[in-house]
Amino acid sequence: MRHLFLLVFFSISFVGSAQKPIDLKKKYFGNYEGPVNSFKLDTGEDLVDVEKTSMRVSIDEKNVVFDVGRYHLEATYTVLFEAQKYFVLDCNIPGRVAGERIVVYKRGKQISRDGLFPQPSAMLEKVK
């Protein structure tokens, strides 16, 4: 019994310390802008043409703000993982089932917003 307790104790401590949270570096904070291409939206009754519009994404230490046309959405994010060339952010928008995914590239001052079907993905450039 004593050995089982020690085994469980050490297993839990190793699992708890195995993965550290990943922080997005300050140099990637800021405003990114770019176009979202037009697409067709199936409403169930009709096909609606959604025109090309501009998008602005602002990233800070804990939050992401999406401005698409006249819509303004605020979200919190977590860094899912860090690869050699990019970070992947999972954005949780309150009141929505599906969140947003953003890929922050380490070079080139760009991000990619992965659109949920039927929305197209968008490449956004950092602005000052």
Task: Answer with the residue of higher pLDDT: 73 or 115.
Answer: 73
In a domain, 28, yes or no: yes
pLDDT in tens, 77-88: 999 989 999 999
Residue-level pLDDT at 7:
53
Q: What is the arithmetic mean of pLDDT over 17-42? A: 82
In this structure, is residue 49 part of a structural domain?
A: yes
Answer whether residue 9 is part of any domain: no
CB 77 within 8 A of CB 23: no
Domain count, the chain: 1
| 16 part of a folded domain | no
Kind plus residue range of the DSSP H or E element containing 30: strand 30-36
Token pair of 61 as six digits: 């230490």
In a domain, 5, yes or no: no
Residue indicated by tokens 């956004």: 124
Domain, as residue range, for 95: 22-127
